[in-house]
Amino acid sequence: MINEEKVILMTKLAAFEKREGRKDNNILSYFRSDYIGFQILKAVIAGTISFFAVLVVYVFYNFETLMADIYKMDFMEMGKSIVTIYLIVIVIYAVLCYILYAYRYSKAKRRLKTYYMNLRKLDNLNSR
């Protein structure tokens, strides 16, 4: 006789393993602080590369204006403003990434907790 509850539970477990299970196991293979820190480090590196790419595009776009005003420019002040803007952008980006990856970690932890609870339930159904 086929136990319908058991089949439904096994189907849910298999679907979870196929979809989110691998990703959640990869996330939870790290400690929370290690996972979030590593993701923030990757985000800061990507943000730095993106910032300087946008800066280069801006310089090339305004090259004629910059060359016309090159003798009037205060390079120290321009450098300070670029560094200030960079730091503001990176700090905001890092905070947003912290929030996002902390949420993803907690969500993965909740999903795996539910998965293991369902595994225990399936084990109880098998032992009957």
CA 77 to chain centre: 34
Cβ atoms of 35 and 78 within 8 Å: the answer is: no
pLDDT at residue number 19: 87
> How many Cβ atoms are within 10 Å of 116's Cβ, its own excluded?
10
Instruction: Note down pLDDT in tens along the chain; length 128 residues.
Output: 578 888 888 888 888 988 888 899 999 999 999 999 999 999 999 999 999 999 999 999 999 998 998 888 899 999 999 999 999 999 999 999 999 999 999 999 999 999 999 999 988 888 76
Cβ atoms of 116 and 28 within 8 Å: the answer is: no
Confidence (pTM)? 0.82
At 82, which amino acid appears? Answer: I
